[in-house]
Amino acid sequence: MTDRGGRREVLATLAVVGAVGLLGVGRPLVRRLSRHPTPERCVAMLERYAEQEAHAQNRAPGDAPVPLGAPDVARCTHDLTDDEVGCALRSGYADELERCLP
């Protein structure tokens, strides 16, 4: 009986360790395999964020558009998913937009 009890404990421990490992590896893998936003959607999100931040600080938004080749756009297309950018584009204010992003 002790052998079976010990085996169950080992299997239970392996199951817990495996589940934690999958959570650690799974999220980055899902993010990598998810559809990523286009540079144009990233520009729209970044401009929307700048607009919302300006409004929150009671100042006029800047007129300078975000260039497609900007480092923030490249980072957005690589690091964010299209769903996250879509959520950000639907947001009503800066804090809500930030909650859409990891």
Range 24-58 burial, b when 16+ CB lie within 10 A, else e? eeeeeeeeeeeebbebebbbbbbebbbebbeeeee
Among 19-23, 28-32, 65-69, top mean pLDDT goes to 65-69
Query: Is residue 91 over pLDDT 80?
Result: yes
Give the position of tokens 């800066």. 94
Q: What is the pLDDT of residues 34-77, one digit of tens each?
A: 899 999 999 999 999 999 999 888 888 777 888 999 999 999 99
Structure token pair of residue 70: 């900007």
pLDDT score recorded for residue 26? 65
C-alpha span between 25 and 32 (Å, rounded) = 11
Structure token pair of residue 23: 């959570």
Sign of CA dihedral 79, 84, 86, 90: negative
